[in-house]
Amino acid sequence: RAGSLIVAHDNVLKRMSVDGFVEFLGMQTRADPKEALPVVTFTSDMTFHLNGDEIYVFHVPRAHTDGDAIIHFRKSNEIHMGDTFFNKLYPFIDSSSGGTIDGMIAAVDKGLAIGNDSTRYIPGHGPMGVKADLVAFRGMLATIGDRIKTQVKAGAKLEDVIASKPTAEFDDAFGKGFLAPAKFVEMVYKNLQPR
């Protein structure tokens, strides 16, 4: 209403325009009002030239959802990872909106590839981060994801995977947020099921 120009990936407009359902949370979502919808959408990437900075925005498919984008403020050397980076927290991966653990890892790899040791990484949740935080987040995702994938391929039941505590060494660093360790394991397990 104040005149902001909202820019997002094409899939964000599609999802925000209709009622939805976040399966893992059992949560109904309502279509957003017209003034909250993106006015400009993009398919793969775009560049803004604003306030003396070059701002490069690009889509990262099937990460937290199917509409995620990473924003690189090139001059100020900051990268906004959005919900593809939960700093010091287990992330929420919305399978019902196209999110996957492999897509999350791929998004983090892209963020790491365009940054350097001086880059500040802005997470969707948690405190401002640096490269070491993003590296730790990626390591956690890959390790836990691989452990759960191995058990899923072997036909393990959810309760057995939870009981194996595949997150144990990461719980102190990442397990005190929105998703408790067992819920994170359940989410990843369900995310890895054939659809």
Among 100, 81, 99, 83, residue whose Cα is nearest residue 91: 83
Give dist(CA 148, CA 103) in Å, integer: 16
Query: Which is it for strands 27-29 and 69-73: parallel, antiparallel or unpaired?
Result: unpaired
pTM of the model: 0.94
What kind and span of H or E run contains 153?
Answer: helix 131-153
CA–CA separation, 72 and 46 (whole Å): 11
Looking at residue 194, what is its pLDDT?
Answer: 79
pLDDT tens digits in sequence order for the chain, 195 residues long = 788 899 999 999 999 999 999 999 999 999 999 999 999 999 999 999 999 999 999 999 999 999 999 999 999 999 999 999 999 999 999 999 999 999 999 999 999 999 999 999 999 999 999 999 999 999 999 999 999 999 999 999 999 999 999 999 999 999 999 999 999 999 999 999 976
CB 72 within 8 A of CB 55: yes
